[in-house]
Structures are given as C-alpha cells and as structure tokens.
C-alpha cells in the first residue's frame, strides 16, 4: 500500500468546538462532511484522546467553523497542536458563543459556521465519527476562499499531527540540505526562501532568538537541522 495515495483525498480545514460549563474547547480537524440534506446532517471524525472529544460527549453538541485562507497559522498552531487539557486555547482568540446552541465559533477566522446537536456516533478505533444535526448555520464571509488541506500543506507548510486521521509516520525527520525542521508540526524553514518578515537568504541563525514556528508556535531552539 502506498500511504501517500491517501494524500490525494481532498479536505478542508475546520475548527471543531464544544462548550462545557461556560468554557470553550476545540481543535483543528480536516475531516468534516455533509451526510444528508433532509435532515441536514454533517459528520466529523475526532480522536478519542482529544480533549474536544470529551467535551462533545459531555455537552452533546459541537460547533464547526470553516476556516478561510486568511486565518493566521498561529490559530492552527494553538488549536491543532496544543490540548485544552493543558491550556485555555480560546483565551487569546476572537470567538463568539453561537446563537443556536451556544457552541464556540470563530466567525472572523472563517467563512461559515455550524452549530450541531449530536444525534449519533460511530466508534472507529482511535476516532469517533460524530453525526450532528445542524441547528444553525451562517455564512460569515462570503468572499473569502476556504482553506483546503492542500493550501495548508503547500502554502502554510503544515503537516498532519499524530491525532489527525491523515497522519503518516515519518521515520526520517532529519533531511539533508540547509532546511530547519520543526519537530512538532514538521514546518520547514528554508533560508533560501525566508518566511514572512524574513526575506529570502535569511540564515536560520539570523532569525531572532524569540522567533517561533509560524505553524505550531514551537520555539526556535527546538528546531532540528537537516
């Protein structure tokens, strides 16, 4: 089996969220899709180890925000690489409580939001497929482009972490050449290309000491040289 064939499946990037005792929880997922239109239902695949999983079970509801290409990669870093078990991930985020079910939503970082009531679930090994009936849905930015998994990989240079269903184990994190690799999310800093405020030709050593991985927020010191 060539596991890279799985990368040919198309996905979007979403925030799956839940509210429990007035606290917001959530994580990044790439696995959300509509199942039926009457009644309108969508499914999401959530790893059972994710804290968000616990909170969806506890509250019986979930929120889904469709992220746009304008969403800052730091948002994906916080929601996709940290756990609500250890930190309040929503503390620094511009979120609202949905008008329908009160689930946390991120309308400014996305283009559409859904509030769903869990009506069924299917345990599939490491993950649970939650089936949600849509109670409320809004378009929050009609002109934005939705963030696809391809955009996430090719433009933001992000990779799938362990709890994503699309994760593929990489035995050789160390690569040759001048690349510097984030050990958490796999972001590659290539001095020949630079990144954002740092123009092409900026050596890794010349990045400020407080520079952080633009995808997951890991500190510069943790990066591995290829």
Contact residues for ligand FMN (CB under 6 A)?
A: 13, 27-31, 45-47, 50-52, 76, 80-85, 152, 158, 160-161, 163-165
Residue at shortest CB range from ligand FMN = 80
Query: Minimal CA–CA distance to 84: which of 133, 17, 146?
Result: 17
Q: Which is nearer to ligand FMN, 113 or 163 (CB)?
A: 163
Q: How far is the CB of 17 from ligand FMN (least distance, A)?
A: 9
User: Considering beta carbons, is residue 148 or 202 the nearer one to ligand FMN?
Assistant: 148
DSSP letter assigned to residue 67: E
Residue with smaller CB distance to ligand FMN, 85 or 225: 85
Q: How far is the CB of 115 from ligand FMN (least distance, A)?
A: 18
> Residue 217 — φ and ψ, nearest 5°?
85, 10
Closest approach of ligand FMN to the CB of residue 192, in Å: 25
Distance CA 82, CA 67 (A): 18
Considering beta carbons, is residue 46 or 109 the nearer one to ligand FMN? 46
Taking the complex as a whole, how short is the minimal distance between the CB of residue 152 and ligand FMN, in angstroms? 6
Least distance from ligand FMN to the Cβ atom of residue 41, Å: 18
Residue 203 CB, shortest distance to ligand FMN, in Å, is 28
Closer to ligand FMN by Cβ: residue 35 or 203: 35
The runs of H, that is alpha helices, within the chain are 51-59, 73-81, 149-154
Q: Compute φ and ψ for 111, nearest 5 degrees.
A: -125, -15
Q: Which residues contact 195 (CB under 8 A, 6 or more apart)?
A: 189, 202, 214
CA–CA distance, 160 with 209 (Å, rounded to integer): 26
Local structure of 190: helix, strand or coil:
coil
Q: Cα–Cα distance between 65 and 73 in angstroms, integer?
A: 15
- Contact status, residue 147 vs residue 71, Cβ threshold 8 Å: yes
**Which lies closer to ligand FMN via its Cβ, residue 19 or residue 164?**
164
């Amino acid at each position: 089996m060539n596991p890279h064939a799985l990368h040919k499946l198309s996905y979007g990037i979403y925030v799956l969220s839940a509210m429990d005792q007035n606290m917001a929880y959530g994580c990044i997922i790439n696995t959300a899709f509509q199942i039926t239109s009457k009644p309108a239902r969508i499914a999401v695949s959530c790893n059972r180890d994710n804290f968000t999983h616990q909170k969806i079970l506890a509250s019986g509801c979930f929120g889904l925000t469709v992220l746009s290409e304008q969403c800052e990669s730091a948002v994906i870093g916080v929601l996709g690489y940290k756990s609500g078990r250890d930190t309040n991930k929503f503390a620094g985020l511009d979120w609202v409580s949905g008008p329908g079910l009160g689930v946390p939503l991120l309308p400014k970082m996305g283009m559409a939001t859904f509030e769903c009531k869990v009506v069924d679930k299917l345990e599939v090994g490491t993950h649970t497929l939650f089936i949600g009936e849509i109670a409320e849905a809004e378009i929050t930015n009609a002109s934005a482009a939705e963030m696809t998994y391809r955009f996430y990989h090719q433009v933001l240079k992000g990779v799938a972490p362990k709890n994503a269903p699309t994760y593929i184990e990489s035995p050789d994190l160390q690569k040759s050449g001048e690349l510097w690799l984030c050990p958490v999310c796999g972001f590659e800093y290539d001095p020949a290309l630079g990144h954002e405020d740092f123009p092409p030709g900026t050596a890794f050593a010349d990045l400020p000491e407080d520079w952080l991985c633009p995808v997951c927020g890991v500190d510069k010191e943790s990066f591995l040289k290829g």
